[in-house]
Structure 1
Amino acid sequence: MKTKQVIDHITNWLKDYAANAKMNGFVVGVSGGVDSAVVSALCAKTGLRTLCVELPIHQSLEQVTRAQEHITHLKRKFSNVTNVQVDLTQTFDTFGKTVPQVEESPKLHLAMANVRARLRMTTLYYFAGLHNYLVAGTGNKVEDFGVGFFTKYGDGGVDLSPLADLMKSEVYEIAKELDVIESIVIAAPTDGLFGDSRSDEDQIGASYDELEWAMKEAEAGKTEEDFSGRQQEVFRIYKMRHRANKHKMEPIPVCNVPLDLK
């Protein structure tokens, strides 16, 4: 990949999009992960106002520290970067106490994890509305169009997606070129939605390198029977998640009423 040229291309795309939309800049949720670090750095490079928002909800100190270190590093390099922290822990806890109480279960834990993501989306759009900013998404190609590893109307609720045509490995290449701090580059990817240390790989059952391979093989028309052992297992994981999360990747179904019924 021509990393420097890709960075310039995305930066110019962001700048042009904001200008055409008559928006003042960007708001990015910064989590302490590599994707949000890269997106915030790319937004900063446009020269437009870039608001980095920390949105902890029972977050691990390690993730919070990485996010703060990245923001400090970014502000040293770019005068157009500002930041704010909104601790949503109490809001999240209040929501959990307000809805009807149900027994502990994996479905409950997943539902509440998605609540975290949707509270964060709501907060980002609050700041976007205040300042006439665009909400910049942080999803990469494998997450957004491969396995659908994002929350619908949570981290999937954005105005534009600068990384959605890049594989995770390509995001890491860009991170190195942009001088993203090492603690973020070497950290295990995690969505941080469960209040524990589980990584994305723990949740999905495959690494991003494996998922990239499976996505390319699936796009080439391969089937599960073409592989064996670990490759077959990874391919099966990819296909299963792709099918299950297809509703996230396609437009909302619209019931078209025949004209003669209107």
Structure 2
Amino acid sequence: MEVNIYLTLFYYHNVKDIYVDKIQVIREFLKEKIGEKHAVLGISSGIDSSLVLTLLATSIDRNKIKAIFMPDKYTKQDDYEDIKKLSDSTGLDIITINIENVFESYRALLNTSDKKLEGNIRSRIRANILYYHANLLGGLVIGTTNRTEYLLGYYTKYGDGACDIEPIEDVFKTDVWKIASILKVPQSIIDKKPSAGLWENQYDEDELKMDYHEIDKILSDIFDNHTLNGKYEKLMELYLKSMHKRELPKAMN
């Protein structure tokens, strides 16, 4: 029994060391790529953007971080409260710009009622706001797409997928949670059910019809271990269908 306890502790510390090393690699990446420029980041109160802001806060000049929360009518009270907790935990100001009026102008112009199309419009409105501030400051927009989302194309093209730097693009969603825990991201954010918040009661795992632990295991098998297990056909279909999101626009040579 004592041996098992020591083995468990040994395993825990070694696994934690892996994530600590990863944190340092990401911090060095951010320092190198951002340099003396401003970093502009959209904050949703979700785990990915909260982790990226926490990493930025300990990587570059804090006076050069512009964090922007862009709520709309689907934003819940819990999200506002988590933004306050995140601001307190990072010691950074997070400004709020409500996008609902802008979206309503788009909806009136386009006469749309499709929730997925509307969700993409909301995402692209937020990208426009981020790039306005990046242009204003001569800075860079920092992305928040994790490896799971990247491989599945689970983001809006030219929306939340629009950025200059992707610091967690090689980190699976389940690892995002682990790193966030190590860095003391507010627990209510870590525990929150993943959602892009693009329409009412929209949740990632409901849309994907699989939980992230299962998804990450299968994706790791496919892309790291080169084996096919579980519901790989469904995930490969999403990967292939979203290939255009991971490629540059086609051009004549």
TM-score w.r.t. the length of structure 2 is 0.87
Q: State yes or no: 1:169 paired with 2:184.
A: no
CA RMSD, aligned part only? 1.6
- CA 1:221 to 1:12, structure 2 compared with 1: closer, same or farther past 3 Å? closer
Matched residue type, 1:50:
I
Corresponding residue number in structure 2 for 1:260: none
Q: CA deviation at 1:68?
A: 2.7
State the shift of 1:177 in Å: 1.3
Shift of 1:62: 2.0
Counterpart selection for 1:152 from 134, 154, 157: 157
Q: Distance in 1 between matches of 2:51 and 2:21?
A: 15
**Cα contact 1:31–1:64 (8 A) shared by 2:** no
SS at match of 2:68: strand
**Quick one: which of 225, 233, 251 aligns to 1:236?**
233
Q: Classify 1:221/1:16 alpha carbon distance in 2 versus 1 (closer, same or farther; 3 Å).
A: closer
Q: For residues 206-253 of structure 1, give each alpha carbon's deviation from its aligned partner in whole angstroms, at most 9, with x where no partner exists.
A: 111111112122224445xxx5xxx3xx32321121111111012221
Could you list the per-position Cα deviations for residues 46-93 of structure 1 after superposition, in whole angstroms to 9, with x for gaps in the alignment?
232212100012122222322232123211xxxxx3321100011101
Q: Which of the residues 25, 48, 52 maps onto 1:35?
A: 48
Q: CA deviation at 1:125?
A: 0.9
Tell me what 1:178 maps to. Answer: 183
Kindly indicate whether the alpha-carbon contact (under 8 Å) linking 2:71 and 2:98 is maintained by their aligned counterparts in 1: yes
- SS class of match (1:63): helix
* Matches of 1:28 and 1:208, distance apart in 2: 24
2-structure distance, mates of 1:116, 1:62:
20
Selected match of 2:80 from 61, 64, 88:
64
Q: Provide, for residues 116-165 of structure 1, a one-character-per-residue CA deviation record: whole Å limited to 9, x for no partner.
A: 11000110111111222211100111111x21100000010001000001
Residues 1:114 and 2:120 aligned together: yes
CA distance in 1, matches of 2:250, 2:218: 28
- Residue among 70, 77, 92 paired with 1:55: 70
Paired residue type of 2:65: T
> Which of residues 32, 43, 54 in structure 2 aligns to 1:16?
32
Q: Deviations over 1:99-131 (max 9, x none)?
A: 2x25x4xxx221110001100011011111122
1:250 alignment partner in structure 2: 247
User: CA contact under 8 A between 1:33 and 1:67: conserved in structure 2?
Assistant: no
Segments of structure 2 that go 5 or more residues without pairing to the other structure are 1-14
Name the counterpart of 1:86: 97
Residue 218 of structure 2 corresponds to residue 218 of structure 1: no
**Distance across 2 between alignment mates of 1:154 and 1:85:** 18
Q: State the 1:6 CA deviation.
A: 1.6
SS at structure 2 position matched to 1:66 = helix
Determine the C-alpha separation between the residues in 2 that align with 1:180 and 1:192: 20
SS of the equivalent of 1:62 reads helix
Q: Paired residues, what number?
A: 233
| SS of match in other structure, 1:27 | strand
| 2:213 counterpart of 1:209 | yes
Counterpart of 2:140 in structure 1 is 134
Q: 2:30·2:60 contact (CA, 8 Å) conserved in 1? A: no
What code does the residue aligned with 2:202 have? R
Are 1:143 and 2:149 matched, yes or no? yes
Among candidates 36, 40, 44, match of residue 57 of structure 2: 44
Three-state SS of the structure 1 residue aligned to 2:102 is helix
Q: Give the Cα separation in 1 of the matches to 2:149 and 2:252.
A: 28
- Pick closer, same or farther for the CA change 1:204–1:186 going to 2, 3 Å: same
8 A contact 1:117–1:193 mirrored in 2: yes
List 4+ stretches of structure 1 deviating above 3 A: 220-223
Residue 65 of structure 2 aligns to a residue in which SS?
Answer: strand
